[in-house]
A and B are shown apart, each in its own frame.
Chain A
C-alpha cells in the first residue's frame, strides 16, 4: 500500500511580494521516487527546497500552508531545522564535495550529529555509506585523498554517500546528473533505484527521459502551480492536462 511520507497541504511560497508557488497539495509516498518536472522558473526547485526548509536561508521568504513529515509539520515552531535537514538530506546539481578527504566528506555529518560511539563505528558508517553509494570499491584504497580528486560522476556519488551517512529518511536531489556524462548518469540512476528500498527520494530534473526512467510518480509544475501529478507510466503515456501533454511532447 502507498503510504505518504510527506503530505503537502495548500502550500504558498513568496519571495517578498512575489508569489512563487500557488496552492500546492500533494502526497509524496514512502520508498518511492517522485520526480518533479517543468520548465525553468516553474517553481519545482523552490518546491523541493521547501521540503527541508532550505528556503529559510533566503531573505524575505514566506511560506503558507503545511508540510507534514510523518505527520509532523516541518514549519511548526518546535521543529529543529538542523534535525530536519538530517532527516531530509539533499544532493545538488553540481557535485560539491568539501575540500577534505573522501573519508572526512562522508564522516562529516555523523561527526556533527554525534551518530557513533567510537572510531571503528565511524569507519563502519563511512564504509557502509560508500558501499550504498556504489563507490566503495573504487575508493577504498584512497580514502585519504581529497574528494575533489575524483571524477565528476564519482564526486556526485560521494555527495550521495555523504547525504546517506546521517541516515536520512528522505533524499532530495536537484538535477543530480546535469553535469554528468551518460554512463555516470546511468550509475546514479541505478543507485537511485537501489536507494529507494531505504529512503524516500524526490528528484528535480530537466531531463524528461530521466524522470521516466527513475521515478514511480511524477509531478508537472508550470508557472508556480502543480498542474498534474500521477503515476509515471500514466503521465508519460496519457497525460490528462493539455499543458503536461505540450511540455512532454515539446509543443509549448
Chain B
C-alpha cells in the first residue's frame, strides 16, 4: 500500500496482512448490514438470528488484528508511516467491531418487534441504513487507497445521516403521541435508528484515522 517496499520483505507482508484483515472485517460488517436491511423489510427472525450468530466472526477477526498488531510492534518496532499504519489498524478495527455490535442490537430489536405484529415505519430506517452502508464501503476503500480526500468527503456525509435521524425521531414522536399503544414498538424503532446513526459517527472516526495515517497530523489540527 506504500510507494516503495521494505528491504525486509516479510515486514511488508505483515503490514499488508494487517490491512487485508481490516478490509475483511469491513466486508463482514457490510454483509451484516445487508442482512439488517433484509430482516427489517421482511420482518424475518431467522435472518436476524443469523446476524447475531455471525458476530463472533467479527470479534475473532478483531482479536486476530490486535494480536498481529501487538506482535508487529514488539518484533519490528515500526516507526513513521509504518507505525501510523499499525496504530490506525488497531483503532479502525475497534470501530468496526463496535459497529458490528450495533448491527446485533438492531437484529435483537427486530426479533422483539416481530412479536408485536408487522413492523411499521421501516422505510425511513431503510434509507438510513443505506446511507451508512455506503459510508462504510467508501471509507474502507479510502483506507485501502490511502485516499485522504475521499475520507474528508465521507466525513461530511455524516451530517446527512444526523439530519435524517433527527427528522425520523420527530416522526416517531408524533406516532407515540397519537396512540400510546405505539410507544413500545416505536421505542424499539427509535433505538434501531439510534444504533444506525451511531455507526455513522464511527465512520467519521475512521475517516479521521485515515487522515492521521496519511499525514501524520491529527484531524483536529488540520481543521483549525
| Residue ranges of A at the interface with B (Cβ–Cβ < 8 Å) | 208-209, 212, 236-239, 244-246, 248-252
Please tell me if the beta carbons of B79 and A251 are within 8 angstroms of each other in the complex.
no
Please tell me if the beta carbons of B8 and A236 are within 8 angstroms of each other in the complex.
no
Please tell me if the beta carbons of A249 and B79 are within 8 angstroms of each other in the complex.
yes
Please tell me if the beta carbons of A239 and B8 are within 8 angstroms of each other in the complex.
no
* Among A209, A249, A252, contact of B80 (Cβ-Cβ < 8 Å): A249
Please tell me if the beta carbons of B84 and A249 are within 8 angstroms of each other in the complex.
no
Interface size on B, residues (CB 8 A): 18
Please tell me if the beta carbons of A248 and B5 are within 8 angstroms of each other in the complex.
no
Please tell me if the beta carbons of B7 and A252 are within 8 angstroms of each other in the complex.
yes
Within 8 A of A (CB), among B102-122: none
Q: Does B82 reach chain A (CB closer than 8 Å)? A: yes
Please tell me if the beta carbons of B6 and A251 are within 8 angstroms of each other in the complex.
yes
Please tell me if the beta carbons of A251 and B7 are within 8 angstroms of each other in the complex.
yes
| Residue ranges of B at the interface with A (Cβ–Cβ < 8 Å) | 2, 4-8, 11, 77-84, 215-217
How many residue pairs link A and B with beta carbons under 8 A? The number is: 39
* Among B4, B83, B84, B217, contact of A246 (Cβ-Cβ < 8 Å): B4
Distance in angstroms between the alpha carbons of A236 and B77 in the assembled complex:
11
In the complex, 13 of the A-B residue pairs with CB atoms within 8 angstroms, ordered by the A residue number, are A237-B83, A238-B216, A238-B217, A246-B4, A249-B6, A249-B78, A249-B81, A249-B82, A250-B6, A250-B8, A251-B6, A251-B7, A252-B7
Q: B78: which A residues are within 8 A, CB to CB? A: 249
Closest to B77 in A: A209
Please tell me if the beta carbons of B81 and A245 are within 8 angstroms of each other in the complex.
yes
Q: A238-B215, A246-B4 are in contact. List 6 more A-B contacts (CB 8 A).
A: A237-B216, A238-B217, A244-B80, A248-B80, A250-B7, A251-B5
Dominant SS among interface residues on chain B: loop
Please tell me if the beta carbons of A236 and B79 are within 8 angstroms of each other in the complex.
yes
Distance in angstroms between the alpha carbons of A245 and B216 in the assembled complex:
12
Distance in angstroms between the alpha carbons of A227 and B80 in the assembled complex:
16
Best-surrounded residue of A237, A245, A249 (most CB of chain B within 10 A): A249
Closest to B12 in A: A251
Q: B216: which A residues are within 8 A, CB to CB? A: 237-238
The 10 A-B pairs of least Cβ separation, nearest first, read A238-B216, A251-B4, A236-B79, A248-B79, A248-B80, A249-B82, A250-B6, A250-B7, A239-B80, A245-B80
Q: A250: which B residues are within 8 A, CB to CB? A: 6-8, 11
Distance in angstroms between the alpha carbons of A251 and B11 in the assembled complex:
11
Distance in angstroms between the alpha carbons of A238 and B79 in the assembled complex:
8
Closest to B7 in A: A250
Distance in angstroms between the alpha carbons of A245 and B80 in the assembled complex:
7
Please tell me if the beta carbons of A237 and B80 are within 8 angstroms of each other in the complex.
yes
Q: B81: which A residues are within 8 A, CB to CB? A: 245, 249
Q: Within the complex, what minimum Cβ distance (angstroms) separates B103 from chain A?
A: 34
Q: Within the complex, what minimum Cβ distance (angstroms) separates A66 from chain B?
A: 33
Q: Within the complex, what minimum Cβ distance (angstroms) separates A14 from chain B?
A: 32
Please tell me if the beta carbons of A237 and B4 are within 8 angstroms of each other in the complex.
no
Q: A208: which B residues are within 8 A, CB to CB? A: 79
Q: B5: which A residues are within 8 A, CB to CB? A: 251
Closest to B15 in A: A249
Distance in angstroms between the alpha carbons of A250 and B10 in the assembled complex:
12
Please tell me if the beta carbons of B80 and A236 are within 8 angstroms of each other in the complex.
yes
Please tell me if the beta carbons of B4 and A212 are within 8 angstroms of each other in the complex.
no
Closest to B4 in A: A251
Q: A248: which B residues are within 8 A, CB to CB? A: 79-80
Distance in angstroms between the alpha carbons of A250 and B215 in the assembled complex:
19
